[in-house]
Amino acid sequence: MPAMTDTAPDGLPFFKMHGLGNDFVVIDARAAPRPVSDRLVAALADRHRGVGFDQLAVIAPAPEADAHLTFYNADGSTSAACGNATRCIARMILDETGATALRLSTDRGLLLAEDAGDGLTRVNMGQPQTLWSEVPLAEAMDTLELPIEGTPTATGMGNPHCTFFVADAEAIPLDTFGPRYEHHPLYPQRTNVQVAQIVGPDHIRMRVWERGVGVTLASGSSSCATGVAAARRGLTGRKTRIDLDGGTLWIDWREDGVWMTGPNMTVFEGRLTPQFLAETAR
């Protein structure tokens, strides 16, 4: 990544947002470039000495869309997709512009977002990737039931996912279960890990271990992947309610992609001080 050069006297503005407790720092670089370094990501992610986040998102201008989004995990790695952050940023731009729909460019592709009413926002997270080479996996195989204990399902949503369907999601020790499979040899890029329990018709209880982050209260792309996996396995239809530790998302796998609907919150606006930025530039 390029070095952080923005050490202007007035510091660097940012937003703190969350989607169902999955929290983000958002830097708006539409008006001026805001280069991000590994050191800045790590310093910002520190919940004691920085701000703290599950993901950092940078908004930049995009000629073919309303904005371009780049996502960083708390460990400094990048991710092509982050559903909750996409939804929160979409809400901010919808409110800012007065539009009812917009297009957001990401490394995942061009994503559509729209006002869903009642304070909710809907985002099309694109078509799921169900071929082993798309997820990606390390070797050719059927992604519906992987040769791993528990026969999880592999799905790509711009980032890799491994979904275990279990009898009781609450009983899984996610802090040890998650890292065991995040680094499984079948996933060369590591993976997000979900434990999902079918609790009723088209109703799922899910908990998430996110690669590069750890246990998180919610994950939009994980919810999309789990909704797709459940439908592929005949456990639900293509429209599902998914209850996460932080709240509820609604997933609708349509012909044009996987639509995710949920709430969003901008918590506060802040400004990184020149002193903090200078420390991260060393």
Token pair for 79: 């991710």
Q: Which of 224, 225, 214 is nearest to 163 (CA)?
A: 225
150 contact partners, CB below 8 Å, separation of at least 6? 164, 166
Question: Is 211 among the annotated ligand-binding positions?
Answer: yes
Please indicate if the annotation marks 84 as binding a ligand. yes
Q: What would the two tokens of residue 55 be?
A: 């993901």
Between CA 38 and CA 52 the distance in angstroms is 15
Q: Which are the contacts of 133, defined by CB distance < 8 A and separation ≥ 6? A: 140
Is the per-residue pLDDT at 142 higher than 60? yes
82 is catalytic: yes
Please, where are the H alpha helices in the chain? 38-45, 83-97, 174-182, 220-232, 274-280
Please check whether residue 81 is in contact with residue 125, taking contact to mean a CB–CB distance below 8 angstroms. Answer: yes
Find the helix packing angle between 220-232 and 83-97, rounded to 10°.
Answer: 120
Q: Residue 8 — very low, low, confident or very high, per pLDDT cuts 50/70/90?
A: low
Rounded CA gap, 223 and 251, in Å?
A: 7
pLDDT tens-place string over residues 210-255:
998 999 999 999 999 999 999 999 999 999 999 999 999 999 999 9
What residue ranges define each of the domains in the chain, with the CATH number in brackets?
A: 12-125+264-280 (3.10.310.10), 153-255 (3.10.310.10)
The tens digit of pLDDT for each residue in 159-208 reads 999 999 999 999 999 999 999 999 999 999 999 999 999 999 999 999 99
55 is annotated as contributing to ligand binding: yes
- Known binding residue 73? Answer is yes
Calculate what percentage of the chain has a pLDDT beyond 90. 87
pTM for the model stands at 0.91
- Pick the closest to residue 194 from 232, 220, 164, 150 (CA basis): 164
Question: Binding site annotation covers 30?
Answer: no
From 82, 88, 162, 224, active-site residue: 82
